[in-house]
Structures are given as structure tokens and as C-alpha cells.
Amino acid sequence: MRLKITHRTEYRYDAPVHYLLQRLRLLPVNGRTQTVLSWALKIEGAREEVRFTDHFGNDTRLLSVEGE
């Protein structure tokens, strides 16, 4: 079985945001029962600061947003 998953996260705030850090864990881990065939991450309005594998084996991205 093949699945196509699309995920969108959008943030809106009542007051201006001066600085924001966001940690993303969106990529499933390959294993016996699943294999990721393709993967893409599109980021708008933020900067990817660092990418690392956490202690559980998850692909982790740290994003920053500098506001007004």
C-alpha cells in the first residue's frame, strides 16, 4: 500500500511576534513495516537553523522566525 500525505502548518497571532523558535518532527522513520519513498519540506517565512536526529531517531528541524 502506498500513501501520500500532505501536511500544512500555519500560525496566526493576535499580537506581533518578535522572535519564535519551532521544532519540527514530521518525517516518519523507515522501519520493517514502512519505507519513505520521497520527502520534501517547504518553509515560508522562517529559516532552518539546524537539522539533527534526536535520541529517538527522529529527523528534527529547528526553525526560527524573526518578526516585526
* Residues forming beta bridges with residue 16, ordered by sequence position: none
pTM, 2 dp: 0.77
Give the dihedral of Cα atoms 60, 63, 42, 44; nearest 10 deg.
170
Indicate whether 68 pLDDT > 80.
Answer: no
Indicate whether 63 pLDDT > 90.
Answer: yes
Indicate whether 26 pLDDT > 90.
Answer: yes
Domain residue ranges of the chain, discontinuous segments joined by +: 19-66
pLDDT, tens digit (0-9, with 9 covering 90-100), for 43-62: 998 999 999 999 999 999 99
Cβ-proximal residues to 46 (8 Å cutoff; 6+ apart), any chain: 22, 63, 64, 65
**Cα–Cα distance measured from residue 44 to residue 29, given in angstroms and rounded to the nearest whole number:** 24
pLDDT of amino acid 64 = 96
